[in-house]
Amino acid sequence: MLPIGIAAGAAGAVYQYLNEKELLQKDENAVAALFDLANLQAKSELSDMILSFYQMYRRGTNPKQLYQAVEARKKQSMMEVV
């Protein structure tokens, strides 16, 4: 099972990290932060998942919508296994 909830939390951490470092909120900076902080390579399954949630943070998605997106992704990943 994919770490979907963890990916959503990591996306929020990346968003906050870029704010604290006063860097622009853009995908390139998020990818660089993921590499610098967690040694995650761009275009890996996990980094792509984190970036998809990161983009939701950038758009100002509210917590309820983020939770619903996590749950939908979990449900989808469970169906792929079966």
pLDDT at 79: 79
- Quick: pLDDT tens for 7-58: 999 999 999 999 999 999 999 999 999 999 999 998 999 999 999 999 999 9
3-state secondary structure the chain: CCCHHHHHHHHHHHHHHHHHCCCCCCHHHHHHHHHHHHCCCCCCHHHHHHHHHHHHHHCCCCHHHHHHHHHHHHHHHHHHHC
What's the pLDDT band for 80 if we cut at 50, 70, 90? low
- Global confidence as pTM: 0.90
